[in-house]
Amino acid sequence: MTRFGLISFSGCAIMLALALLPAAAQPGTAPAIPQTVLMKPADLANDIKAGKAPVILQVGFSVLYQQAHIPGAIYAGPGNKEEGIDNLKKQAASLAKDKPLVIYCGCCPWEKCPNIAAAWKELTAEGFKNLKVLYLPQNFGEDWADKGYPVVKAS
């Protein structure tokens, strides 16, 4: 087999393996979330400041949540891991399906986020009717904290 053929075969094998992974483990699927459910950071910040904050679930990595998160946000676990989805289901089990709910991650640029799409998919399948996804195009620091929106930081 030529070197090019081996590289081509390896590339195909990797793509096939990624295609066979469960949806929760596929990075970069955030752009598949419908635009109609995306929420702008300024809108959520205004709701928080007005005392009208929805339930907020952080579906990223725990280290990020521990460093800084949106006030009132509940850590629900990373959407790219089975235990994260299990924790998400646990956190969402007591929530009313028709009440406003916002999820966010902010670990990395939107196009590469491994967590948000799987969490959105799971909560949609669970029947949440008023679910919004906080659109953080770059990351939580740049699109939320650096803009002066409310943050709870580790002490």
Tokens encoding 119: 């969490």
Q: How far is CA 138 from CA 43, 108, 116, 118, in A?
A: 17, 6, 13, 18
Q: State whether residue 17 is helix, strand or coil.
A: helix
Q: What is the tens place of the pLDDT at every residue in 30-69? A: 999 999 999 999 999 999 999 999 999 999 999 999 999 9
- CB-based contact 89:126 (threshold 8 Å): yes
Q: State whether residue 134 is helix, strand or coil.
A: strand
What gap in Å lies between CA 59 and CA 125, rounded to an integer?
16
pLDDT of res. 26? 55
- CB-based contact 68:147 (threshold 8 Å): no
Name which CATH class applies to 23-153: alpha beta
pLDDT of res. 17? 35
pLDDT of res. 154? 81
Q: Which of 117, 129, 96, 108 is CA-nearest to residue 34?
A: 117
